[in-house]
Amino acid sequence: MMKLEQFADQVLSASSPQSAWNKTVSFFESFGFKGAIYGQRQRDVVPTVNDIWFSDRLADWKAAYFEQKDYERDPLFIYAPNLPSQFMTGIHFLPDHAYLNAEDIAVIRRAQEFGLTSGIALRMSRDEDPVVKGWHLVSSFSRPDIEAINTQFGALLHICAAIAHHKIGRLENLSQASLTTREQECLLLLAKGYRTAMIADHLSIKAVTVDLHLRNARTKLGARTREQALANAIATGLIHL
The CATH superfamily label for domain 4-174 reads Transcription factor LuxR-like, autoinducer-binding domain (3.30.450.80)
Each residue's pLDDT tens digit in the chain (241 positions)? 578 999 999 998 888 888 999 999 999 999 999 999 999 888 777 778 888 999 999 999 999 999 999 988 899 888 888 899 999 999 999 999 999 999 999 999 999 999 999 999 999 987 777 888 899 999 999 999 999 999 999 999 999 999 999 889 888 877 778 899 999 999 999 999 999 999 999 999 999 999 999 999 998 888 889 998 898 888 777 888 8
- DSSP symbols for 43-95: TTS---GGGEEE-GGGHHHHHHHHHTTGGGT-HHHHHGGGS-SEEEESGGGGG
Contact predicate 93/116, CB 8 Å: no
Q: What angle do CA 149, 90, 6 make, to 5 degrees?
A: 35
For residues 157 and 162, give the distance between their C-alpha atoms in angstroms, rounded to a whole number. Answer: 9
Host H or E run for residue 150: helix 143-175
pLDDT of res. 186: 96
Spatial contact of 203 and 210, defined as CB atoms under 8 Å apart: yes
CATH topology of domain 177-235: Arc Repressor Mutant, subunit A (1.10.10)
Q: In the chain, what are the domain boundaries?
A: 4-174, 177-235
* Region of residue 24 (phi > 0: left; psi between -120 and 50: alpha; otherwise: beta): alpha
Indicate if 177-235 has the same CATH topology as 4-174: no
196 in Cβ contact with 186 (< 8 Å) = no
CA dist., res. 162 & res. 146, Å (int): 20
